[in-house]
Amino acid sequence: MYNEELKDEEIPFLLEHLEAELEDIDGFMNSSYREIRFLGTSPRTIGGNLLDCTLFNLRLCLQYYTRKEEYLRVDYLDRLLRLLRESNGKRIEIDHDLLRDISICEN
């Protein structure tokens, strides 16, 4: 399913289906959120399927975290959504907390 194919009104039904099918919906959504934060605005530069999938997951996370009333995450996702839809693709924003957490193996 492509991002444009899913209307905003259909997202709650998709979340209900995921909650019914998955044992750990919180883990699934947290993983999706971390991946979105790691990608930042780079999908806009790359475009194609990566941008489409990122927008799809971002909209799903926005709905999920709005339901859970985790407004700091909602704020971040909302700002990122606007950047992905409006930016010219030249600016890449990656979360600084994630950059600090990256460890490099010196083998």
Is residue 94, in this structure, part of any structural domain at all?
A: yes
Kindly report, residue by residue over 42-99, the tens digit of the pLDDT: 888 887 888 888 888 899 999 999 999 999 999 999 998 888 887 554 556 677 777 7
What are the residues whose beta carbons fall under 8 Å from the beta carbon of 100, sequence distance 6 or more? none
DSSP string, 10-61: GHHHHHHHHHHH-S-HHHHHHHHHHHHHHHTTHHHHH-HHHHHHHHHHHHHH
Is residue 107, in this structure, part of any structural domain at all?
A: no
Q: How far apart are the first and last CA of the chain?
A: 41
Is residue 83, in this structure, part of any structural domain at all?
A: yes
Q: What total of structural domains would you count in the chain?
A: 1
Is residue 20, in this structure, part of any structural domain at all?
A: yes
The pLDDT-based confidence of 105 (bands split at 50, 70, 90) is low
Is residue 106, in this structure, part of any structural domain at all?
A: no
Is residue 62, in this structure, part of any structural domain at all?
A: yes
Range of the domain at 71: 3-101
Is residue 72, in this structure, part of any structural domain at all?
A: yes
